Chains A and B, each alone.
Chain A
Amino acid sequence: MKCTFIVYRFEPAVDKEPRYQEYMVEAEPTDKILDCLNKIRWEQDPTLSYRSSCAHGICGSDALMINGRIELACQRLVRDFKTANNFVIEPLPLFKVIKDLIVDMDPFFEKHRTVRPYLINDEDPPEKERLQDPENQKFFEHALACILCGSCTAACPINRSNDKYLGPAALLRGFRYVADSRDTATGSRLAQLDNENGAWGCKSMWWCTDVCPKSIPVTKSIAQIKRLIKEEGKSKTAGS
């Protein structure tokens, strides 16, 4: 079937303002949106730029705005849309556009770094594995599905008004380490997130959860951080 693709274009060396370009694509209902972009690039216009790699929703390269909604281009098929075969493709909102559909992810990963996204445990490791209760694993298992695509952060209304806010992706990673029983820095991690640019910046608007292509309950995870901060505060008060 014939599909119309209206694609956001911006070439910094040439364009002062972004523009939209229209393409006609012959697509199967089972084609991914990424397949359609590839058809445009390979068969019609090789100057179109976008990121992609694994093409099945695990590498996190190709989060885009498709018909006004944040999606992975490789995880949505033509048949998933009921829009009379018309598609509008735009880069992720909030992020700065470098070229066409490619955005600058550096600020996103800068925030990621600040949550100390690695296991902290200064005790000497045992000869074999550290034991871990499978129930503890279940508590943060959903957070492991994150592919760092940036969809949640791009969707978050708080991020739009406060660029210091860590954002849902970094907070989710923070939660992953706070929740891991093997990590011994829980207290200092919670203290780091106990402010308006951290967990309390989240006003539970659920947009992050809504757009997550891996169906991660992001908002709930941030709420877990808030709960743990409160519990930590109580236990400190009780201890003093």
Chain B
Amino acid sequence: MKHQFDVIIVGAGLAGLRAAIELGEDTRVAVLSKVFATRSHSGAAQGGIGAALGNEEEDNWEWHMFDTVKGSDYLGDQDAIEILARDAPRTIYELEHLGVPFNRTPEGKIAQRAFGGHTRNFGEAPVKRACFAADRTGRVILDTLWEKCLQRGIQFFDEFQLMSLIVNEGQCHGVIAYELASGKLHTLHSKAVLLATGGYGKVYKTTSNAFASTGDGLAIAFRAGAPLEDMEFVQFHPTGIYKLGILLSEAARGEGGVLRNNEGKRFMELYAPVIKDLAPRDMVSRCILEEVRAGRGIDGKDYVHLDLTHLGEEVLNTKLAEITGFARTYSGVEPIKEPIPVQPTCHYMMGGIAADIDGKVITDSEGTQFPGLYAAGECACVSVHGANRLGCNSLLDILVFGRRAGKEMRRYIHTVGFAPLPSNPEKEVIDKIAALMESNGNEKGGPIRAELQEVMMDKVSVFRNRPGLTKALEKVRELKGRYQNIAVQDKGSCFNRDLLDAIELDYMLDLAEVIVLGALTREESRGAHSREDFPDRDDQKWLVHTMFRYSKEEGPQVFFKPVTITRFQPKERKY
């Protein structure tokens, strides 16, 4: 089937929905999502969204900008971070006006709480900057924006899998999508395409991410010629539920929760004397693993305790209601009375499709545009998070830059017409599906995926070194080879999950290869990328963005892009 829209948005999380709303009533826009829109993973965001409103105590956007730059270990682009921090209060007020039910202060203003790495006066002490709706902040914003889209009559293609971008002479003008319910292909012809497909935490074994977080948009853009930026920077959130990886929000520590080792000691006091348990995530995750290595994990195992027992029933049941429920359901622990076993879990990808401050996908270190192609949200790298994202900056990022991408596309579509479609745009996708469905290969997707997740967790997580990364690269490439012999066993056309699993696995293998290559290339430790064989940050050599370009013959090709530094020169990062 063929459809025509001015703009196709792929992904119905907050970046996609915010862009859709911005495109306005005069634009024909369609939102395509492989899960029903409200199932998007933005809805799992818990703790808050950062903005220097100053509702609870003095704050200003420049402190927010500084914290974000420092949190990024100086790899974030400061022009973009300035936009993020300055536009944050407007973003919050806009959400409030749309109906987002933020928690309130006694005088009725939007309530705020402390979050990791957010400080007053350039690092003096924690500041209350996170606006929140209990610990379901993402969920209520997702509902509000989705319902706003319903009001606007925006067309959704729910449960449609993105299969490829239509690119002709270097210009993107549509997508091919697979309808899950029927197995039919759809050609969606457009003037512009926004990729807002989220993260790819499923590359790792232990993750807070959803099954849908497989990085489809990145892998497809990569193969279509868009470079991937800073892919080695993978955030491990310190407090995932032990063994399961389910997230327990940083808000738990923002409300006063503390981490304890097997001696009951609040160990973050040693590592970050000023802001303690509210140090940034990269640091807290490393500290937990240092404690474990020193034999101070609980019961000698690889986890520590998150202690919320002193916060009281009222705080737990109201401001932290969801995570209190998660602890009860999944750990069998009563957080009012006992500490919760936690360990780092793969949570967020700082890297992504290289994009500029208006969501335009760029193809080189000079910022040359990929015409018609845009990216926003976790799948994009603008880069506002650099080497490590601060908590509650993600919801902010996707709303600020989702909106900007929407604005830019609205301008762009009035400057171009519909480029003619190639004669048989679906051919490549038809061939790919046929090859998977008709294959006589002896490999199954399940074991390949499991081995991929295992090796990434084992060798490419919080601590890395050359021998481990080299082994990981060999393994990923071996798995890519085995993937060529994969056979889909479900031959049906209605909700064929087997086929979708196989397609997603292909994307994850590509992305894993780039993550490992990036990690091998970057011979320093910065933010979430911690090389045991290169323990120091090296600004002389590595204050640059790592970029990888796809090459079918030679594999991913590396090049570099300078970091934009405006207000804050790199300094030692201490908390």
Contacts and interface: CB of A to CB of B under 8 A. Distances in A.
B492 A47 contact: yes
A105 interface: yes
A137 B101 contact: yes
A6 B96 CA distance: 47
Nearest to B183: A13
A205 B210 CA distance: 35
Interface string A178-211: 0010110000000000000000000000000000
The 4 closest A-B pairs by CB, nearest first: A119-B99, A131-B108, A42-B446, A46-B498
A58 B139 contact: yes
B38 A134 contact: no
B489 A46 contact: yes
Contacts of A49: 494-497
Contact of A59 (B93, B101, B210, B445): B210
Interface residues of A, number: 55
A100 B495 contact: yes
Interface in A66-119: 75, 77, 98-100, 102, 105, 113, 116-119
- Which residue among A50, A53, A117 has the maximum number of chain B CB atoms within 10 Å of its CB? A53
Contacts of A50: 497
Nearest to A42: B446
A77 B108 contact: no
Nearest to A119: B99
11 contacts: A46-B497, A57-B325, A61-B36, A118-B150, A119-B144, A125-B97, A128-B93, A129-B92, A134-B106, A134-B108, A147-B38
Interface in B94-133: 96-99, 101-111, 133
B173 to A, nearest CB: 30
A57 B39 CA distance: 11
Interface string A116-133: 111100000101111111
B38 A60 contact: yes
Given A47-B489, A129-B109, A59 B329 contact: no
B569 interface: no
A141 B322 CA distance: 13
B418 interface: no
A233 interface: no
Contacts, number: 157
B151 A118 contact: yes
Interface of B: 35-36, 38-41, 43-44, 53, 92-93, 96-99, 101-111, 133-134, 136, 139-140, 143-144, 147-148, 150-151, 181, 210-212, 243, 246-247, 318, 321-322, 325-326, 329-330, 332, 444-446, 450, 488-490, 492-498, 501
A53 B210 contact: yes
A118 B147 contact: yes
Nearest to A59: B39
A53 B211 contact: yes
A111 to B, nearest CB: 12
A145 B136 contact: yes
A137 B101 CA distance: 8
A130 B329 contact: no
A144 B141 CA distance: 10
B495 A102 contact: yes
A137 B211 contact: no
Contacts of A18: none
B39 A13 contact: no
B499 to A, nearest CB: 9
Contact of A99 (B96, B103, B247, B495): B495
B133 A144 contact: yes
Contacts of B35: 51, 53, 59, 61
Given A129-B109, A133-B104, A180-B99, A58 B492 contact: no
A70 to B, nearest CB: 16
Contacts of B321: 145
Given A53-B35, A125-B93, 7 more contacts: A11-B492, A12-B494, A51-B35, A53-B212, A75-B329, A77-B330, A118-B144
A50 B103 CA distance: 35
A230 interface: no
B104 A58 contact: no
A188 to B, nearest CB: 15
Contacts of B243: 30
A3 interface: no
A54 B494 contact: no
Contact of B41 (A59, A105, A141): A59
A160 interface: no
Contact of A56 (B93, B246, B498): B246
B99 A58 contact: no
Nearest to A124: B97
A55 B210 contact: yes
A117 B150 contact: yes
B96 A41 contact: no
A119 B150 CA distance: 12
A100 B498 CA distance: 14
B329 to A, nearest CB: 6
A148 B38 contact: yes
A17 interface: no
Nearest to A116: B151
A13 B109 contact: no
Contacts of B98: 118-119
A58 B39 CA distance: 8
Given A98-B495, A118-B148, A54 B106 contact: no
B253 to A, nearest CB: 19
Contacts of B106: 134
A135 to B, nearest CB: 9
A119 B321 CA distance: 24
Contacts of B134: 141, 144
A68 B316 CA distance: 32
Contact of B97 (A59, A102, A130): A130
Contact of B93 (A51, A57, A129, A133): A129
Nearest to A47: B490
Contacts of A132: 104, 108
